[in-house]
């Protein structure tokens, strides 16, 4: 016996006159006092079943008991709908199944929410995710995801990458987040860390002669959960031996383009623009600019050097950008609040009204020359930032993103991909110590291998980020493959040779045994899919995500463990004053 001849969404007028069996979930049931109509649904769509007691008395009896989400099998004849009953919005809308027999394969208890209900609390939806997944939006997202991942795998295969599995349980991996720890019963009191990424293993694969490695790798990072962050997520992780930066970028572009093409969408044209870090920081105030709109930041330090406006003349750096709207006082007050959130003391501006007249509390301090040096169309506002260059970049960059969104400047349906290159190799951490910007395995630019270990400022790394419409999709770099250079990077980060040996001794040993030049990349799969699907957060493309408290509403995990279990692992739990496990 087969459960079904066709999927629910596949019935068409060409099937009229055929006897067919379908199976699926009850989407709706309408009892018209005699005739019963049931919309039967599966992942392909819906079909209308008509149960007429005069034609099939038994079936009508069964249909009477049916409730939403019951699983049914129905057999009958495909007939044309009466002309006034044709539903042009439904692919199956020209036909219906005149049912002769119907079986209830599975019942459903009353539902915690209706599938088509709007504004259902997300935790409730995730608590009953098996219901939620039946929704069209979810079905669409997961099938889109499958198509994209299949296209990526095909591309990797065509480009001679091989899929190698690397361990999840390992030593800490330095990707800048906290590790999740796994206790080990066989060695009580000792812990594995769950891999934050396969970074070191993929490099060891290169030393091992794998040549081109890839993996859709699960990564674990103990960070606060956000719209684009979960404890566990996947990366398209890849590494190439004997590769230069352009080789890596080329592979990633191929994977992105193949994903668009697999979905039948217009792919971004290659090569994606390549922008330098210093340049984007100056022009957009961020290392992941949304290039769908302009509002580029302009230089005004020199022009305002001798200004009577002390905030400008005394500042190491003055910059501005022009927003395409003449803001009201109330709007400017709100923008000032935002600027302050980004660290500004205030917000200087010049409003250029529709007649071209310039209004500004600072106008009286600015000379004609100064005023004229900020070109702006009527109906716009010039917004200034003054202070240290980093602060100015942060404030104007933050305002630019805010206004880009608020003024709807990014045309929907536009997909702008670009690379950011030439990042600094090191930056200062909160304590003022030098640390890596990407991770400690990133190589310096060729020719920049010599630096003062106390002050590596100005040294650039071979690190690159891929950006889509202002979202960072992923990062990668050409790696250090020389053991002495790797030690030097560690020392610059304040890690003595002894500390480096104890933490990364195995990598240093491997680098000392014939490491080819190599580089790679990792792209966040969920973020890529969420953007592809037009979803606002990655939970919508993860089958069973966790909520922001860090819990899984479906299984109730994480849960406390019995003392005896912990004892076997050499662990004792400290008493907690809040017992929230929701
Ligand atoms: N391991 C890096 C990350 O997870 C990516 C890379 O450098 O390949 O961000």
> In this predicted model, what pLDDT tens digit does every residue of 153-187 receive, in sequence order?
999 999 999 999 999 999 987 778 999 999 999 99
pLDDT in tens, 530-567: 999 999 999 999 999 999 999 999 999 999 999 999 99
Q: Where are the alpha helices (DSSP H) in 167-288?
A: 199-207, 245-262, 277-284
Say if CB 531 and CB 471 are below 8 A apart: yes
Calculate what percentage of the chain has a pLDDT beyond 70.
99
Looking at the predicted structure, is the pLDDT value of residue 581 above 60?
no
Say if CB 393 and CB 366 are below 8 A apart: no
Q: How far is the CA of 522 from the centre of ligand 1 (A)?
A: 5
Q: Which of 520, 523, 528 to mutate to test the pocket of ligand 1 (most atoms within 8 A of CB)?
A: 520
Q: Is 199 in the pocket of ligand 1 (CB under 6 A)?
A: yes
Q: Does domain 8-106 have CATH number 3.30.1490.20?
A: no
Range of lowest pLDDT (1-5, 10-14, 128-132, 419-423): 1-5
d(CA 435, CA 77): 71
Architecture of the domain spanning 293-406: 2-Layer Sandwich (3.30)
Looking at the predicted structure, is the pLDDT value of residue 412 above 80?
no
d(CA 167, CA 199): 11
At the fourth CATH level, the homologous superfamily of domain 139-274+417-541 is Bira Bifunctional Protein; Domain 2 (3.30.930.10)
Ligand 1 nearest atom to the CA of residue 477, by list position: 7
Which residue's alpha carbon is nearest to atom 6 within ligand 1?
476
Q: Is 175 in the pocket of ligand 1 (CB under 6 A)?
A: yes
Q: Is 92 in the pocket of ligand 1 (CB under 6 A)?
A: no
Q: Is 470 in the pocket of ligand 1 (CB under 6 A)?
A: no
Q: Is 296 in the pocket of ligand 1 (CB under 6 A)?
A: no
> 115-118, long-range: CB within 8 Å, 24+ apart, which pairs?
115/27, 115/68, 115/69
Q: How far is the CA of 507 from the centre of ligand 1 (A)?
A: 16
The angle that helices 389-406 and 277-284 make with each other, rounded to 10 degrees, is 60
Task: Give me the pLDDT at residue 413, please.
Answer: 80
pLDDT in tens, 264-276: 999 999 999 999 9
Looking at the predicted structure, is the pLDDT value of residue 578 above 80?
no
Which residue's alpha carbon is nearest to atom 3 within ligand 1?
522
Q: How far is the CA of 41 from the centre of ligand 1 (A)?
A: 42
Ligand 1 nearest atom to the CA of residue 202, by list position: 8
Looking at the predicted structure, is the pLDDT value of residue 15 above 60?
yes
Q: Do 8-106 and 139-274+417-541 come out as alike in CATH topology?
A: no
Which residue's alpha carbon is nearest to atom 8 within ligand 1?
521
Residue spans per domain, the chain: 8-106, 139-274+417-541, 293-406
Looking at the predicted structure, is the pLDDT value of residue 281 above 70?
yes
Range of lowest pLDDT (432-446, 503-517, 567-581): 567-581
In this prediction, residues 241-251 reach a mean pLDDT of 98
Q: What DSSP character marks residue 283?
A: H
Which residue's alpha carbon is nearest to atom 4 within ligand 1?
197
Q: How far is the CA of 521 from the centre of ligand 1 (A)?
A: 6
Say if CB 95 and CB 78 are below 8 A apart: yes
Say if CB 376 and CB 351 are below 8 A apart: no
**Rounded to the nearest 5°, which phi and psi values hold at 329?**
-60, -45
Q: How far is the CA of 456 from the centre of ligand 1 (A)?
A: 22
d(CA 84, CA 93): 11
d(CA 78, CA 170): 58
Task: Give me the pLDDT at residue 579, please.
Answer: 54
Q: How far is the CA of 476 from the centre of ligand 1 (A)?
A: 5
- Alpha carbon distances (Å) from 222 to 178, 230, 255, 526, 527: 5, 9, 28, 17, 18
Q: How far is the CA of 514 from the centre of ligand 1 (A)?
A: 22
Q: How far is the CA of 84 from the centre of ligand 1 (A)?
A: 59
In this prediction, residues 205-232 reach a mean pLDDT of 96
- Please, which pLDDT band fits residue 373 given cuts at 50, 70 and 90? confident
d(CA 227, CA 536): 7
Q: How far is the CA of 153 from the centre of ligand 1 (A)?
A: 19
Ligand 1 nearest atom to the CA of residue 199, by list position: 1
- Please, which pLDDT band fits residue 582 given cuts at 50, 70 and 90? very low
496: helix, strand or coil: coil
pLDDT in tens, 60-92: 999 999 999 999 999 999 999 999 999 999 999
Looking at the predicted structure, is the pLDDT value of residue 404 above 60?
yes
- Alpha carbon distances (Å) from 41 to 7, 23, 89: 9, 8, 15
Task: Give me the pLDDT at residue 577, please.
Answer: 75
Task: Give me the pLDDT at residue 372, please.
Answer: 82
Q: Please give the model's pTM, rounded to 2 decimal places.
A: 0.93
Q: For tokens 């003062």, what's the residue?
A: 452
More confident residue, 111 or 365: 111
């Amino acid at each position: 016996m087969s459960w079904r001849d066709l999927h629910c969404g596949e019935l068409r007028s060409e099937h009229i006159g055929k006897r067919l069996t379908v199976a699926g979930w009850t989407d709706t049931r309408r009892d018209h006092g005699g005739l019963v109509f049931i919309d039967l649904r599966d992942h392909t769509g819906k079909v209308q079943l008509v149960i007429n007691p005069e034609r099939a008395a038994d079936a009508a009896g069964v249909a009477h008991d049916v409730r939403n989400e019951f699983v049914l099998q129905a057999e009958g004849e495909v007939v044309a709908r009466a002309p006034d009953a044709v539903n042009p919005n439904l692919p199956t809308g020209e036909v219906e199944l005149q049912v002769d027999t119907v079986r209830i394969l599975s019942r459903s208890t009353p539902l915690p929410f209706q599938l088509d209900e709007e504004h259902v609390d997300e935790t409730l939806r995730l608590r009953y995710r098996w219901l939620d997944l039946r929704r069209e939006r979810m079905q669409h997202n997961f099938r889109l995801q499958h198509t994209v991942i299949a296209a990526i795998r095909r591309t990797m295969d065509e480009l001679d990458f091989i899929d190698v599995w690397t361990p999840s349980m390992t030593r800490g991996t330095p990707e800048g987040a906290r590790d999740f720890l796994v206790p080990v019963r066989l060695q009580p009191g000792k812990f594995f860390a769950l891999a934050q990424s396969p970074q070191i293993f993929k490099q060891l694969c290169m030393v091992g002669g794998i040549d081109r490695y890839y993996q859709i790798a699960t990564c674990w990072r103990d960070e606060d959960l956000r719209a684009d962050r979960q404890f566990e997520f996947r990366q398209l992780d890849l590494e190439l031996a004997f590769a230069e930066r352009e080789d890596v970028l080329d592979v990633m572009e191929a994977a992105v383009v193949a994903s668009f093409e697999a979905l039948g969408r217009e792919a971004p044209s290659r090569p994606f623009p390549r922008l330098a870090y210093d340049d984007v920081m100056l022009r957009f105030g961020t290392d992941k600019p949304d290039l769908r709109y302009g509002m580029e930041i302009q230089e005004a330090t020199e022009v305002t050097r001798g200004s009577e406006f002390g905030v400008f003349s005394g500042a190491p750096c003055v910059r501005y950008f022009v927003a395409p709207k003449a803001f009201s006082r109330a709007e400017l007050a709100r923008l000032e609040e935002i600027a302050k959130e980004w660290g500004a003391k205030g917000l200087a501006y010049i409003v250029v009204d529709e007649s071209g007249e310039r209004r500004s509390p600072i106008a009286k301090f600015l000379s004609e020359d100064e005023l004229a040096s900020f070109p702006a169309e009527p109906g716009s506002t010039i917004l200034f930032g003054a202070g240290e260059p980093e602060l100015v970049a942060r404030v104007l960059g933050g305002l630019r993103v805010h206004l880009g969104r608020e003024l709807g400047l990014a045309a929907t349906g536009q997909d702008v991909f670009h690379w950011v290159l030439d990042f600094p190799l090191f930056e200062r951490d909160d304590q003022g110590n030098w640390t890596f910007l990407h991770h400690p395995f990133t190589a310096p630019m060729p020719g920049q291998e010599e630096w003062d270990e106390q002050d590596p400022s100005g040294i650039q790394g071979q690190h690159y980020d891929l950006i889509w419409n202002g979202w960072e999709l992923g990062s990668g770099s050409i790696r250090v493959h020389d053991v002495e250079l790797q030690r030097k990077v560690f020392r610059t980060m304040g890690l003595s040779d002894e500390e480096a040996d104890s933490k990364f001794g195995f990598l240093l040993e491997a680098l000392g045994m014939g490491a080819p030049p190599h580089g790679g990349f990792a792209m966040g799969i969920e973020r890529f899919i969420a953007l592809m699907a037009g979803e606002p957060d990655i939970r919508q493309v993860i089958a069973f995500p966790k909520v922001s408290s860090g819990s899984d509403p479906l299984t109730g995990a994480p849960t406390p463990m019995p003392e005896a279990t912990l004892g076997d692992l050499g662990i004792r739990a400290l008493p907690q004053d809040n017992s929230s496990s929701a």
